[in-house]
Amino acid sequence: MIFAMLFVSCASLPRGPVIMDNNVRFSLYAPQAKSVSIAGTFNQWDPHRDQLKDHGRRRLWSIQLPLPAGRYEYLFIIDAEQWMPDPDAPGSDDGMGGINSVLVVP
């Protein structure tokens, strides 16, 4: 029964980046994470600049960033060491054997 409750709560979580007016909300469900940040072309790939917050201790980490129109590549950083693409966003070859997440703000 616990598994079913976890599955239902995960299924109802927002997926991928959401564009709202002049902001973009990035979200990541990371139940084991102690910290999550985001780095990308919008912050010069600085892994310390934009820390996501865990709202309500559901382990749904999120942040809103003001981003003008453009194409951005980014990755999430879990516990200051594991860089990972957004599982709910398209990806692009980073030219070094990895994948970056891609967001286009119209």
Give 6-42 pLDDT, tens digit per residue.
333 455 556 789 999 889 999 999 999 999 999 999 9
13-105: CATH, from 1.10.287.110, 2.60.40.10, 3.40.190.10, 2.60.40.3880: 2.60.40.10
Q: Which residues does residue 101 pair with via DSSP β-bridges, in sequence order?
A: 74, 91
Radius of gyration (C-alpha) of the chain in whole angstroms: 14
User: Torsions phi, psi of 104, nearest 5?
Assistant: -115, 120
pTM listed for this prediction: 0.85
Tens of pLDDT, residues 36-71: 999 999 999 999 999 999 977 678 999 999 999 999
pLDDT at site 12 = 55
Residue 36 is which amino acid? Answer: V
